[in-house]
Amino acid sequence: MKLNKTTLTIGAVVLLILPLIAGQFGNAWVRIIDIALLYVLLALGLNIVVGFAGLLDLGYVAFYAVGAYMFGLLASSQLTDTFPGIAAMFPHGLHTPWWVVIPLGALLAGTAGMLLGAPTLKLRGDYLAIVTLGFGEIVRVFMNNLDAPINITNGPKGITGIDDISMFGVHFGKTGSFMGLEFPKVTNYYYLFLALVLFAIMVCYRLERSRIGRAWMAIREDEIAAKAMGINTRNLKLLAFGMGATFGGVAGAMFASFQGFISPESFSLQESVIIVAMVVLGGIGHLPGVIVGALLLSALPEVLRYIAGPLQQLSGGRLDASILRQLLVALAMIGIMLSRPRGLWPSPEHGKDSTPDTLPVSPHMHLAPGEQIPPVVTHIKPDAQ
Amino acid sequence: MDTFIQQIVNGLVLGSVYALVALGYTMVYGIINLINFAHGEVLMVGALTSWTVVTALGKSGLPGWLLLIIGLVAAIIVCCTLNYTIEKIAYRPLRNAPRLAPLITAMGMSLLLQTLAMIIWEPTYKSYPILLAGEPHSIGGAVINNVQILILVVTAVTLSGLMYLVNKTKLGRAMRATAENPRVAGLMGVRPDQVISATFIIGAALAALAGVMYAANYGSAQHTMGFLPGLKAFTAAVFGGIGNLAGAMLGGVLLGLIESFGAGYIGAITGGVLGSNYQDIFAFIVLIIVLTLRPSGLLGERVADRA
């Protein structure tokens, strides 16, 4: 990622004024961008687990749910309604400030990630996928059923009336004005989400190039070899799960406050599948690719929703917007994978096994005049099992 | 005691369905190392196809058992064609692609089939007609109806037929050889592509059978009905040791029993704190425990050391 100053400035300006322009066409468009940013955050988190460490996690949405439910419980009337004791402790209602909830959400989701990681460390590939998938389902079943005998999650009805975030005296839920411009709720959240996404990109970028990131990639490529090189695979895999889950938890807390309402329906397996699809479609392990994948799969169907009207009339109401969205996501998943199995924007290092013209010569290798470079086997492909 | 025997009956019926679907997963996984996420949806298509046929012919006055057979045959034909096409379009071009690519197309296929079913059959619950009327029988205080007996018998016959096919016939030998090593099998005159197609077709037939029986037993069909049985059947396949046919059967039946006992007794054990609405999590809890203690499954010979 080499960016010069001009592109960086132009990019920054575009990102800053984007919601103001989109807002001219209606707040629905800004909303779409907001949701897309949340998905970018989720995809970046999952990319740590799947892309960097190579652990296929199909229950990622569980961490999203953990963050969302924690925010929902700590910043709504749900707990005070159920427990008179808590209501007595907080006479003005339970409104936990953001600087408590967000780190707590990150911590809780991260812990959940490590807890899930611990028993699954020995598992590989598809077994891991199915166990994480099961974990996601378990979390969802509990969210759905923990309204009896004690009403904690309010079951399928979900939690309503979740607080908006207010930070440094700025109330994100209210329309503010600054320099003669109106800033409605969706635009305020846009800047919050943008800041989070940029922070996440920076963390991922630094992680990828750090000792930890290199160790993760070593584990991804060959776990046994990584172990032999002295990498503590157990701790690093746990760390990957924990880090990825942290992103999910924060995204969940943001989602809860943005929507003001959460229910188990938002955290189905289908969400997990779509987030995995974003990572893989974009280009697994490659940050720009992952971002593109997330934006594409989250925003494109929403945009197409607006042209769904005529189609709906043509098909006699059978093709409504949500069905069309599902259809498009499904077709995109199949189509893109068939035409570009490595993703839309794969990481360049992965292309190296396609006939290297120049052999990698180490600077320490000295050749006598006339001596030929011995053929180097750059890649030994393991036999298809 | 009555409930105990009743739970065994319910568990065996449920387990038979899981076993049939699990076989489809395990055969495909054994040969091309792919979790065929769309397999549960094949079950759903089978159930809905037979529903269409059965309700369309319902007024013709044909006897119930004949209707069931016609519906079943239609479901099997549609599902086999469908699964054959899916394999050809979505999995075959990706045979040598990175491992995650076919997995994503499989998930996409699952989503696509669900969406198409929603468009074709509309997202309402359809009540599946009762085709095998008659008084339920009583065994030691437990009640079992004709459909459930049929499920147990058909499953037993199908499973022995499949065992014969895989272990004694030429196609079965080709399948085992391809599972072992597709390239060497190719050198020995086996055509891996044909064998893989055959595997998908057999798996689809089993799924169609399971779908029709599932719908007939529970009396309803809907476009999302394939998701949970599919997921649990895959769990069953992993439970028994994926790639292993006997393991899939054992895993399916055990999972059915565990679920039925769990749902039946959890209320009494936890003093009413957790009810039978937690039925769906037993499968996954069992799975996590089994894989932690024995990562290759109950009958799995292969070590967990495979990426």
What Rg value do the Cα atoms of chain B yield, rounded? 19
Contact in structure between A194 and A35 (CB atoms under 8 Å): no
Task: Find the CB nearest B119 among A127, A135, A323.
Answer: A323
* CA-wise closest residue to A287 among A199, A347, A209: A347
Minimum mean pLDDT among A307-316, A364-373, B23-32: which range?
A364-373
Q: Using the 8-state DSSP alphabet, how is residue B303 labeled?
A: -
pLDDT of A31: 86
DSSP of A343-382: -SS--GGGGGGS--SS----TT----TTPPPPP-----PP
Rounded-to-integer distance, Cα A160 and Cα A162, Å: 6
- A131 neighbourhood in chain B, CB within 8 Å: 284, 287-288, 291
CA distances from A256 to A200, A266, A280, B144, B187 (A): 19, 10, 26, 47, 58
Q: Which residue has the tokens 């196809």?
A: B49
Q: To which residue do tokens 């411009």 refer?
A: A181
Beta-carbon count within 10 A of A280 CB:
32
Q: Domain-by-domain residue ranges, chain A?
A: 22-268
Summary count for chain A: helices (H), strands (E): 15, 4
Is 70 exceeded by the pLDDT of residue A369?
no
**Burial zone of A5 (CB within 10 Å; 0-12 exposed, 13-18 middle, 19+ buried):** exposed
pLDDT value at residue B71: 92
- Measured between alpha carbons, how far is A63 from A69 in angstroms, rounded to an integer? 10
pLDDT by residue (tens digit) across B181-218? 888 999 999 998 999 999 999 999 999 999 999 998 88
CA distance B77 to B248: 24
**Average pLDDT value for residue range A149-178:** 74
- The letter for the amino acid at B296 is S
Q: What are phi and psi of A77, to 5 degrees?
A: -90, 5
Q: Which of residues 231-250 of B touch A (CB under 8 A)?
A: 231, 234-235, 238, 242
DSSP B87: I
Sign of CA dihedral A165, A171, A175, A180: negative
The pair of structure tokens assigned to B285 is 């809890």
Q: Which residues between 97 and 116 in chain B have a beta carbon less than 8 angstroms from any beta carbon of chain A?
A: 97-105, 107-109, 111-112, 114-116
CA neighbor of A37 nearest in space, from A298, A322, A273, A306: A298
d(CA B236, nearest CA chain A) in Å = 11
Do the chains contact at B104 and A337, CB–CB below 8 Å? yes
Nearest CA in chain A to B289: A119
Name the percent of chain A lying above pLDDT 70: 78
Alpha carbon A283 to chain centroid, angstroms: 14
Angstrom distance (rounded) from CA B112 to CA B223? 11
Does the complex come out with an ipTM higher than 0.95?
no
How far does the CA of residue A102 sit from the closest CA of chain B (Å)? 29
**Alpha-carbon distance A272 to A250, whole Å?**
16
Distance in angstroms (rounded) separating the CA atoms of residues A143 and A154: 8
Q: Which amino acid is at A45?
A: G
Q: Could you give the 3-state DSSP secondary structure of residue B194?
A: helix
Distance CA B237, CA B20 (A): 10
Question: What distance lies between CA A245 and its chain's CA centroid?
Answer: 9
Considering only the beta carbons, identify the residue of A137, A332, A338 that sits closest to B280. A137
Q: What is the pLDDT of residue A374?
A: 52
Alpha-helical regions (H) of A222-315: 223-228, 233-259, 269-283, 287-305, 308-314
Domain boundaries, chain B: 13-225
Q: What residue type is assigned to position A222 of the chain?
A: D
CA nearest to B273 within chain A = A149
**Which is more confident, A150 or B190?**
B190
Q: What is the least distance, in Å, from the CA of A56 to any CA of chain B?
A: 9
pLDDT tens by residue, A89-142: 766 667 777 788 888 888 999 998 888 888 777 776 777 887 888 888 888 888
